[in-house]
Amino acid sequence: MDTPLHPVADLPPSILESFEMNRQCPFAIDAFGADVHAEAALVREQAPATRVLLPGGVSAWAVGRSADIRRLLVDPRVSKDAYRHWPAWIGGEVDAGWPLAIWVSVQNMITAYGSEHTRLRRPAAAAFTARRAAGMRPRIEEVVGELLKDLAALEPGHPVDLRTQFAHELPTRIVFELFGIPERSWAPLHRIINAFFDTNITAEQAQRNAADLDVTMADLVAHRREHPGDDMTSALIAARDTTTTAAGADNGADNGAGGEGEGARLSEKELVDSLILLFTAGYETSVNLICTALHELLRNPHQLALVRRGLASWEDVVEEALRIEPPAFYGLLRFAVEDIDMGEGVVIGRGEPILISFGSAGRDPAVHGADAERFDVLRATRGQHLSFGFGTHHCLGATLARMECAVAVRRFFETFPQAALAGAQELPRVQSFISNGLRELPVVLGPRAPLAD
């Protein structure tokens, strides 16, 4: 059965009314992300950029056309640094009390601009090389095998939630092992990460979450300083501490500004914020991607048949899953360094926030055709998505996430060749307009093939 199409004419009247009102004023992005694709389709059709209102009353421009997004992602007039290029943040009009402040208050490579981005990305890229990622394949295969054995030991015939018992467990073990995170921190970090992506969170809840994060991260960094290992956290700590020592002449001051140049050190805040970015993105991206790939093949069995017949690869499945349901739907936030003429009479003013819709780009008919909402592993444009970003902010963990998903999905269907969805085809999704994934994936596993050793 094909994924159903949702023509604009068939969208709920409430959403259509909201967009009609948008011709005079911003429409409010749904904090629960109830129908992000419906919103994205209308954003895409309105104009090159459309005014929207984010939770907490923050106004921004939403951009949904693939060509416009690609152009903005490499435009030097676009920044992610709120401290330098968002007047509302600099002047305190928007501050740490904003429920989504964590997305702009962190100081790491994802929020940096120009030479600062280069400085902050360098130590992470050095620690997280393609070679390191490729070297993790045996461990990924091992963990997947362990999880499949656990699934096989369950009582047959009863639905299993693959998100909780498979898709969640794999990146938890792989990413948290990669960063050397002790098991005592796993549960607190999961709670914190879930709160990051809750776009309906209150200011009070967000501030409590930030306080919990400070405690958890301080414990992690202290633990790894005392017990360094062959992990990403230890590598980044070593990069910070080594350059701090080498800097010598700075009197040991650590005011949070890293400075510029190849020898410039990470501040302690930049170290912590870089770690937050890397393992949060590594976990959430992989969970959502694995769930999407499994779900699409389960509800489109003829697509799974194409893979089994060798007409498409598991890597093709991963790319089409990334295209049709990017693990992160919107990117918060970018800022215009100067006025940007988008065409069609739309100008994004200097200092105004920009909301990039990666989910919209993946279903843009101008790139993927009139059937862009249909899952198709043979689609010629399946790799022409922006789900891992584009340009200087392209995701460092893209290789690892793709590998995890391809191994997990291949091994699952080899082990449970007759697995089927339990119940409805349409499943509840994560209540967020940033994170884009299923809240649950109930599946009846069916007869099991012999498990690999």
Nearest to 264 by CA among 113, 105, 122, 108: 122
Nearest to 274 by CA among 217, 331, 326, 219: 217
Q: Report how far apart, in Å, the C-alpha atoms of 210 and of each of 295, 330, 377, 419 are.
A: 33, 21, 40, 40
Task: Exactly one of 39, 284, 296, 325 is catalytic; name it.
Answer: 284
Note if 286 is an active site residue: yes
Alpha carbon distance 441, 292 (integer Å): 9
Beta-bridge mates of residue 442: 161
Cβ neighbors of 300 (< 8 A, separation 6 or more) are: 1, 2, 3, 375
Which tokens hold the place of 40?
């994205």
Alpha carbon distance 178, 171 (integer Å): 10
Task: Exactly one of 41, 112, 124, 281 is catalytic; name it.
Answer: 281
Alpha carbon distance 361, 289 (integer Å): 17
Task: Exactly one of 286, 360, 432, 435 is catalytic; name it.
Answer: 286
Task: Exactly one of 62, 293, 395, 406 is catalytic; name it.
Answer: 395
Beta-bridge mates of residue 331: 356
Query: Tokens 């967020």 belong to which residue?
Result: 432
Helix (H) or strand (E) holding 286: helix 268-299
Nearest to 334 by CA among 321, 346, 350, 318: 350
Beta-bridge mates of residue 61: 51, 354
DSSP 10-65: GS-HHHHHHHHHTTTSPEEP-TT-TTHHHHHHHHHHH-SSEEEEETTTEEEEEE--
Q: Residues 391, 396, 400, 401: what is their CA dihedral angle, to the nearest 10 degrees?
A: -60
Task: Exactly one of 116, 320, 404, 432 is catalytic; name it.
Answer: 404
Note if 395 is an active site residue: yes
Whether the Cβ atoms of residue 409 and residue 293 lie closer than 8 Å to each other: yes
Note if 291 is an active site residue: no
* Residues taking part in catalysis: 281, 284, 286, 395, 404
